[in-house]
Structure 1
Amino acid sequence: MRTVIQILLVVAAVVLVFFIYKSIQRPIEFDKAKDARYEATVEKLKEIRSAQLAYKDVYGRFAGTFDTLVSFVIHDSVRNVKAIGELTDSMIEAKISEKKAIEMGLIIRDTIKVSVLESLFGKDFDANSLRYVPVPGEKTEFHMAETVITTGSGIQVPVFEAKAHNNVILRGLDRQLVINLNAQRRTNERYPGLKVGSLTEANNNAGNWE
């Protein structure tokens, strides 16, 4: 009888140790998975920002849809200044400006058009991947929009925003820990996810991870 009780106590102790271990590992494993998904999502948001800034350079405002942005990256081109030579100390001492040096043929500044795709990402980049949050499971698009806001000084500024909620980024991970993270973000008045840009303020297209 005593042997049976001893065995049961050992089993209970092992089970208790197991659950303590799992309770400790649970947030550790969650944070590890969260950090990996956040890193991938931030990189994609940076790519979206690069494409949007190139689009604005050409059209004066940001793209409002991924169809427009992806088409721009695949089919459009941007201006690139090819520089050959530069002002030397002797030119500067002779008070020769860059404009004058170009006119004299001493240096060359040639504007050429290059593919947006190759210029920003390389020819093998999948431009259509810009629209999707890089997480396992069903493909889900980032939420993206653009508008023009008026600053306090009366200046109209084009802005855009692209974002993904934690419920998408962390899909399939510990649900309670995702809920806790979202609640913490809201308490701190922060967006419960990752985003770049803003539709309500001119924030220089910053990401909320920066």
Structure 2
Amino acid sequence: MRNEGKYTASFDTLIEFVKTQKIPFIMKEGVLNDKQLEDGLNERKAMAIVNKARKTGNWAEAKAAGLENFKRDTMWVAIMDTIFPKGFDADSLRYVPFGNGAQFEMATKNSTTKSGAPIYLLEVKTPYDVYLNGLDQQEIANMKDLQIKLNKYPGLMVGSLETPNNNAGNWE
């Protein structure tokens, strides 16, 4: 069942997200050495000791644990500045590379499991004829035929609207 409006809305949402949202970036200064790790210290415990020292002004426990220069700080950075190269046009996400203007088909679906837990499904796909346009037509026909015989989508696909699969693709 194909709903063109649903595909457009999904891409518009994705593009707006990429353009405007931020993701956490943890700045790390200092590392735990083997001895600290063997003694049972981990990142969470180390930060608890450092935070306690900051709050109370008493650095004795932090110094004894070797955590004087141990810092963790979360900064929020723009997705566009972090994941994509400089000058990337987020509006191009909807288009198949070298597809002569063809767009990926994209849909999302919210559902629930039998136990009532929410599931969010995503499916993005494009047929081999679009994705591989200009390559050997016989090879493309062979690939399509194989996918059809295996009861799979004859193209490049990520995710599924029918089955939660952690957005696995069909390129395995």
TM-score by length of 1: 0.59
Residue 196 (structure 1) shift:
0.7
8 Å CA contact retained: 1:74, 1:127: yes
Q: Which residue of 124, 137, 141 maps to 2:87?
A: 124
Distance in 2 (CA, whole Å) between partners of 1:175 and 1:75 is 41
Q: Helix, strand or coil for the counterpart of 1:164? A: strand
> Secondary structure in 2 aligned to 1:113?
strand
Give the structure 1 partner of residue 15 of structure 2.
Answer: 70
Aligned to 2:76: 113
SS at match of 1:182: helix
Q: Which amino acid aligns with 1:83?
A: K
Q: Which has the larger radius of gyration?
A: 1
Secondary structure of 1:130 counterpart: helix
Pair 1:135–1:101, CA change in 2 (3 A): same
The answer to whether 1:188 aligns with 2:150 is: yes
Percent identity between the aligned chains? 38
CA apart distance, 1:143? 0.4
Look up the match of 2:48.
100
Corresponding residue number in structure 1 for 2:123: 161
* SS of residue paired to 1:78: strand
Measured after TM superposition, the shift of residue 169 of structure 1 is 1.6
Matched, 1:147 2:93: no
Q: Are the aligned partners of 2:47 and 2:72 in contact in 1 as well (CA < 8 Å)?
A: no
Given that residues 131 and 141 in structure 1 are in contact (C-alpha distance below 8 angstroms), is that contact kept between their aligned partners in structure 2?
A: yes
State how far apart, in whole Å, the 2-side matches of 1:71 and 1:95 are: 41
Kindly state the Cα deviation for residue 153 of structure 1 after the two structures are TM-superposed.
4.9
> Structure 1 residue runs of 4+, over 4 Å off?
172-177
Cα distance in 2 for residues equivalent to 1:170 and 1:134: 10
Report the CA distance between 1:203 and its aligned residue.
0.7
Counterpart residue number, 1:79: 24
CA drift of 1:150 comes to: 2.9
Q: Specify which structure has the higher proportion of helix.
A: 1
Q: Residue 100 of structure 1 aligns to which amino acid in structure 2?
A: A
Count of residue correspondences: 147
Give the distance between the partners of 2:40 and 2:113, measured in 1 at CA: 45
Q: Which runs of 5+ in 1 are unaligned?
A: 1-62
Summarize the alignment of residues 36-55 of structure 1 with structure 2, pairs less than 5 Å apart: none
Q: What do you get for the CA RMSD once the two structures are aligned?
A: 2.7
**Secondary structure, in 3 states, of the residue corresponding to 2:50?**
helix
Whether the 8 Å CA contact 1:149–1:200 is kept in 2: the answer is no
Q: Distance in 2 between matches of 1:175 and 1:95?
A: 60
Secondary structure at 2:124 match in 1: strand
One-letter amino acid of the structure 2 residue matched with residue 155 of structure 1: A
Conserved? CA contact 1:149–1:201, under 8 Å = no
Q: Helix, strand or coil for the counterpart of 1:184?
A: helix
1:148–1:157 Cα contact (<8 Å) kept: yes
